Amino acid sequence: MKTNLEKWNYYLSIVTEKTNRFIDSQKEGVSIPEIYYIVYPAGKIAEREIIGITYSHCKHRGITYFNGKLPTKEDVAQLKTYSESDIPFIIDNIWFTYKEIWDKENGRTSTSSVRFSDIVNKKGLFLNIEEARECAESVIQKIKEDAEFDAKYAKDANYNYMANGYKFLGWQNGWKHEHYDEDGILCSISGKPQKSFGYSKKDFPEYGKCIESKHRKIEVHHNSRGSENTVSCPICMIYWKYDCSD
């Protein structure tokens, strides 16, 4: 008579074999780098070495692993059913594990994972150091420009916006808002569930144009309770207030 652990390992091996076949099918014809680079928000470049590949059965928690020292009869039954099913594999559940050297002088490293699809599509990463350096220089330059912008247009709670030519758009809390789905389309048009909300350019043309242009804003918090906050755009010469207090 086999033990629960032996049965568990048998069914897990079936899941692992199916998983590996799927991963291999996605890797076929794809060039996988050994090293890639990322640029952190402050402009620092990090080198990451790919050290493995795995699949996350994230929608099936409690099926591909067990709690406690040994699997129970129920654990084995669940894994058996899963191993015999047509597992709905998707590419976004394939992950590369990587090692990052964050302190080269002292040999300190950390490990984490990145999506297979992000590596293939080069999403937020670079495959050569030259591209990473160009990005880092751009990031550092943008930080410098933003700091200069903030210093030039700095305001405090006593700043007189209207006297300085700004137009007041009102309190944002009272604005009519629209609901958008995961693709940024109005829910009333797509019929999909709400993912976010915003303000239409038709109802708020000045605000909409400013947001569309991605202008940098200056924000002032008038008190610690969050009952009065002012946001202004020195480019559009507009400002509005919002209340985020309890």
- Three state DSSP letters for 25-93: HHHCCCCCCCEEEEECCCCCEEEEEEEEEEECCHHHCCCCCCCCCCCCHHHHHHHHHHHHCCCCCCHHH
- The answer, as to whether pTM is greater than 0.85, is no
- Quick check: 194 pLDDT over 80? no
Structural domain spans, the chain:
4-142, 153-242
Mean pLDDT of all residues in 196-210: 90
pLDDT at residue 61, rounded to an integer: 58
- Quick check: 196 pLDDT over 90? no
- Quick check: 150 pLDDT over 80? yes
pLDDT at residue 34, rounded to an integer: 95
pLDDT in tens, 67-119: 889 999 999 999 999 999 999 899 999 999 999 987 777 878 899 999 999 99
pLDDT at residue 108, rounded to an integer: 83
The one-character DSSP state at 123 is T
pLDDT at residue 59, rounded to an integer: 65
**Higher-confidence residue: 28 or 105?**
28
